[in-house]
């Protein structure tokens, strides 16, 4: 018994850590893919070489992230069978189908065109290159769709019935378009885009702060601003819709997100907790600072509720999530970051509107650039926090209300899982720091504006390019430079 | 059952999926085979410039090549959930070795690119390639030999079942095969001194692969009952009698084209040798998917599942092949550094 308990815990740790680590890389590549489509499209439309060099510069960070994303995604693809064989058997008919779709529709599209996007600048015409970039970005986001459909199905299983513990699909489309799917996909789609935009914005701000290539990097920042002005508020709205769905479909998770032990009956005022120290032993919050009526406004747009908010005590301890503090603070961290990013982009757009962000005045806004640099990593933290709320809050279920996590793990010897877990943790730690190191090296080196421009025939244009070039020889062999 | 409109398909569908998975696996072994082979060969590269060419020849394709494996995993999960769960459960450690190897080599590309001291990442690239090939070899060897399962088809063996002298033999042979296809790919993609080197490595690898293949062919029917039973049933007996003859012919043609310094034919002959071995392996395993006892019919997902997935995947296979081909076409010709 003790052995199987350890195996479940270790398998959960392994899944959690590999998922948390894996998430860091595709978050940037899926979002940045869209940015690259926009910036390359701007180049094709305006013929302004700055956009071309932006595309080249950001692709360097892109490809660095992509490699680690692929590498860390491999254990994800096999882990269901390796560590969660009973789960794979029970839900394979649907879950496996969706993962198969992700591979055939999304991964192959992305992988095949990535080579052309990164190395094919001189080998295909500019328009075809742009098509390749679009395919890469589309593939990545299609992958988000399938993963979020699969994960949403774990939250709100639909489209079939469980017979003797095995899920039998009756309607695939209903299972794919399960209740959580639309909002969850949109929330993640905007999350990857928003994170990437603020990474690009943060790095651009770092250059502006040092007054290095200011004209070049105000350009990338302005594209970020236009996109983020739409995305950041929309993300808050979609996040709100997602939370409302949790209230409706997963009341125990909502109670954990709010650290709400007692049920708030219908017709009473529902306050929103700002700071709390949940204590699972006594089933109370040691400290609880509340904003009166706010939860009511959030859920039903009025201080008193028409339907009750169930408290955690409504469920037996074995039927509700644990780690309440983690869920509670992860949720609040995500909200705080979402609000900060939306505020930051609003302030910056206001300043842009008043001053035009002209080169000579950029030095006046050092505080603003620091605000952007600070915002750079925040998107990642929000994404990870959101997934913690989503998946830790789903416990003790692996398929909500249908299959328990404890019943889903393979009966492996714990030492074996410990072996793979520690191997992966060791590798991932090294990769994390190596990626930071090489990423900052790419940033410090800066853009190489001497790269050959595809499709350039005109000698005059060539002259312009040479004039603006700040020569930095690329270390890659000629073939890969292209 | 009779009311189920899909009932007549219950025999046919698993066979279709067996073939599709076979196609994915074959494309993976072929494409990531030269990829991993070049990785292993890079351990012996005599200069940084040569290593540059080796890695550049893979830059645009390694990711797509590896994707065939992910695709195989996903499709196996969807079409034969029992096989996905049981096989991975039985192959936990080889799978971890393979995944760690693939991870190491995947990150090496960009880390090496950006590093001043490339030595660390040269090593992770080569060693990662080797580990991935080794893990795959153990996996193929184990599936070939058979997996211990209970009545329901769940894994009932121990964590170290995969490690036998026979799986070691299969693993070593697969590595030779990867080095062979890697060498012939490099003959096709490079010129001059580098090409000369790989004419040599290709010739050596042909002989080592041949020795491994002969040992496997001789030992398998002697030691594995299920293989023997499978082999000596007509009409398969004739197929299996033809395979060694065909194999000897193909290897002779390969050696001849290496001797004649042909540039693309060695790759073609190697491709045919891989195809022939793969078809042979497929015949040994069919109709099982978890040898020796679980058939594709028992391990299948519900027919509705297989139909649903088939509609999309069958439509996507030609598309996937087309854009893979396009990728190779865009980067055709010799690699220059």
Contacts of B320 in chain A (CB under 8 A): 104, 108-109, 112
Per residue of chain A (482 residues), what is the pLDDT tens digit? 444 458 888 899 999 999 999 999 999 999 999 999 999 999 988 888 888 889 999 998 998 898 888 888 888 888 888 888 889 888 888 888 888 888 888 888 888 899 889 888 888 888 889 999 999 999 999 999 999 999 999 999 988 888 888 888 888 888 898 898 999 999 999 999 999 999 999 999 999 888 888 888 888 988 999 999 999 999 999 999 898 889 889 999 988 888 888 888 887 878 888 888 888 888 888 888 888 878 877 887 777 778 888 888 888 888 889 888 899 999 999 999 999 999 999 999 988 888 877 767 777 788 888 999 999 999 999 999 999 999 999 988 999 988 888 888 888 888 888 888 888 899 899 989 998 999 998 888 888 877 787 865 554 555 555 554 443 344 344 444 43
pLDDT digits (tens, 9 = 90+) for B87-115: 888 888 898 899 899 999 988 888 888 88
**Which one of A73, A86, A96 has the shortest CB-CB distance to B78?**
A96
**Which one of B92, B154, B301 has the shortest CB-CB distance to A93?**
B301
Domains delineated in chain B = 14-330 (1.20.1630.10)
Q: Which residues of A19-31 are buried (b: 16+ CB within 10 A; e: fewer)?
A: bebbbbbbbbbbb
Can you tell me the mean pLDDT for B169-198? 92
**DSSP H or E stretch at residue B66:** helix B62-79
As a whole number of angstroms, the distance between CA A424 and CA A330 comes to: 25
Contacts of B71 in chain A (CB under 8 A): 100, 103-104, 107-108
The structure's pTM equals: 0.87
Can you tell me the mean pLDDT for B213-229? 77
Instruction: Indicate whether B243 pLDDT > 60.
Output: yes
- Residues with Cβ within 8 Å of residue B239, at least 6 apart in sequence: B280, B283
**A423 and B96 in contact by Cβ < 8 A?**
yes
Position A470 scores a pLDDT of 40
**B320 and A63 in contact by Cβ < 8 A?**
no
**A95 and B301 in contact by Cβ < 8 A?**
no
**B71 and A100 in contact by Cβ < 8 A?**
yes
**Chain A residue nearest residue B50, CA to CA:** A477
Position A103 scores a pLDDT of 84
As a whole number of angstroms, the distance between CA B105 and CA A53 comes to: 29
Return the SS3 of B234.
coil
Position B293 scores a pLDDT of 79
- Residues with Cβ within 8 Å of residue A14, at least 6 apart in sequence: A79, A83, A417, A420, A421, A424
Position A473 scores a pLDDT of 40
Residue A96 in tokens: 């496996």
Alpha-carbon distance B22 to nearest alpha carbon in chain A (angstroms): 15
B323 interfaces chain A, CB cutoff of 8 Å: yes
Residue A254 in tokens: 């909502």
Position A465 scores a pLDDT of 53
Selected residues 76-105 of chain A with any CB under 8 Å from a CB in chain B? 77-78, 80-82, 85-86, 88-89, 92-105
Can you tell me the mean pLDDT for B137-160? 83
Position A481 scores a pLDDT of 44
**A81 and B110 in contact by Cβ < 8 A?**
no
Selected residues 94-153 of chain A with any CB under 8 Å from a CB in chain B? 94-105, 107-109, 111-116, 118-120, 123-124, 135
B246 interfaces chain A, CB cutoff of 8 Å: no
Position A476 scores a pLDDT of 43
**A88 and B100 in contact by Cβ < 8 A?**
no
Alpha-carbon distance B225 to nearest alpha carbon in chain A (angstroms): 28
**Chain A residue nearest residue B102, CA to CA:** A71
Contacts of A105 in chain B (CB under 8 A): 312, 316
B87 interfaces chain A, CB cutoff of 8 Å: yes
């Amino acid at each position: 018994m003790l052995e199987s308990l350890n195996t479940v815990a270790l398998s959960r740790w392994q899944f959690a850590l590999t998922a948390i680590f894996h998430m860091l890389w595709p978050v940037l590549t899926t979002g940045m893919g869209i940015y690259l489509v926009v910036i390359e499209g701007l180049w094709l439309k305006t013929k302004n070489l700055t956009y071309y060099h932006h595309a080249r510069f950001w692709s360097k960070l892109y490809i660095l992230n992509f490699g680690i994303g692929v590498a860390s995604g491999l254990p994800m693809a096999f882990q269901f069978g390796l560590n969660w064989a009973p789960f794979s058997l029970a839900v394979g008919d649907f879950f496996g189908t969706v993962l198969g779709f992700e591979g055939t529709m999304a991964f192959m599209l992305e992988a095949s065109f990535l080579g052309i996007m990164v190395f094919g600048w001189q080998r295909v015409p500019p328009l075809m290159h742009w098509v390749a970039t679009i395919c890469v970005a589309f593939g990545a986001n299609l992958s988000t769709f399938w993963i979020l459909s699969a994960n949403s199905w774990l939250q709100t299983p639909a489209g079939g019935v469980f017979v003797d513990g095995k899920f039998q699909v009756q309607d695939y489309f209903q299972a794919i378009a399960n209740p959580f799917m639309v909002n969850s996909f949109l929330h993640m789609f905007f999350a990857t885009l928003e994170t990437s935009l603020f990474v690009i914005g943060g790095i651009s701000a770092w250059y502006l702060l040092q007054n290095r290539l200011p004209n070049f990097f105000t350009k990338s920042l302005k594209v970020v601003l236009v996109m983020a002005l739409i995305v950041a508020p929309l993300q808050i709205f979609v996040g709100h819709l997602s939370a409302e769905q949790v209230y409706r479909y997963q009341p125990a998770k909502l109670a954990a997100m709010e650290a709400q032990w007692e049920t708030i009956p219908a017709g009473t005022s529902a306050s929103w907790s700002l700071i709390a120290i949940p204590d699972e032993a006594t089933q109370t919050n040691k400290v609880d600072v509340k904003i009166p009526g706010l939860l009511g406004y959030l859920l039903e747009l009025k201080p008193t509720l028409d339907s009750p908010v169930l408290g955690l005590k409504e469920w037996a301890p074995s039927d509700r999530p644990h780690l309440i503090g983690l869920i509670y603070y992860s949720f609040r961290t995500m909200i705080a970051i979402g609000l900060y990013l939306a505020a930051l982009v609003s302030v910056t757009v206001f300043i842009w509107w008043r001053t035009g962000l002209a080169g000579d005045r950029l030095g006046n806004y050092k505080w603003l650039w620091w605000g952007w640099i600070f915002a750079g990593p925040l998107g990642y933290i929000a994404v990870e926090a959101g997934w913690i709320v989503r998946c830790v809050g789903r416990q003790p279920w692996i398929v909500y209300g249908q299959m328990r996590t404890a019943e889903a793990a393979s009966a492996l010897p714990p030492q074996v899982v410990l072996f793979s877990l520690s191997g992966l943790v060791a590798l991932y730690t090294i990769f994390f720091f190596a990626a930071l190191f090489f990423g900052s090296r790419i940033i410090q080196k800066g853009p190489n504006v001497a790269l050959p421009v595809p499709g350039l025939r005109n000698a005059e244009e060539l002259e312009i390019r040479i004039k603006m070039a700040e020569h930095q020889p690329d270390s890659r062999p000629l073939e890969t430079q292209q | 059952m009779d009311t189920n409109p899909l009932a007549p398909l219950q025999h046919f569908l698993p066979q279709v999926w067996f073939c599709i998975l076979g196609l994915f696996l074959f494309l993976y072994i072929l494409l990531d085979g030269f990829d991993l082979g070049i990785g292993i060969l890079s351990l012996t590269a005599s200069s940084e410039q040569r290593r540059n060419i080796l890695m550049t020849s893979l830059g645009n394709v390694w990711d797509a090549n590896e994707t065939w494996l992910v695709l195989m995993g996903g499709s196996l999960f969807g079409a034969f959930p029992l096989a996905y769960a049981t096989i991975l459960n039985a192959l936990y450690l080889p799978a971890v070795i393979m995944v760690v190897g693939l991870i190491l080599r995947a990150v090496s590309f960009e880390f090496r690119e950006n590093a001043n001291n490339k030595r660390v990442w040269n090593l992770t690239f080569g060693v990662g390639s080797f580990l991935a090939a080794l893990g795959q070899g153990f996996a193929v060897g184990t599936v070939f030999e058979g997996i211990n399962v209970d009545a329901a088809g769940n894994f009932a063996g121990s964590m170290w079942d995969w490690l036998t002298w026979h799986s070691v033999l299969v693993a070593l042979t697969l590595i030779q095969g990867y080095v062979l296809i890697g060498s012939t790919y490099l003959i096709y993609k490079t010129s001059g001194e580098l090409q000369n080197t790989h004419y040599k490595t290709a010739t050596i690898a042909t002989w080592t692969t041949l020795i491994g293949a002969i040992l496997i062919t001789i030992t398998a029917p002697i030691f594995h009952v299920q293989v023997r039973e499978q082999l000596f049933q007509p009409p398969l007996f004739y197929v299996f009698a033809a395979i060694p003859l065909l194999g000897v012919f193909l290897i002779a043609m390969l050696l001849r084209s290496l001797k004649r310094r042909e540039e693309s034919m060695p790759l073609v002959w190697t491709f045919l040798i891989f195809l022939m071995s793969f078809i042979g392996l497929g015949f040994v395993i069919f109709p099982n998917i978890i040898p020796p006892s679980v058939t594709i019919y028992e391990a299948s997902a519900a027919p509705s599942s297989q139909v649903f997935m088939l509609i999309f995947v069958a439509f996507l296979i030609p598309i996937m092949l087309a854009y893979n081909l396009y990728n190779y076409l865009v980067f055709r010709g010799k690699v220059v550094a």
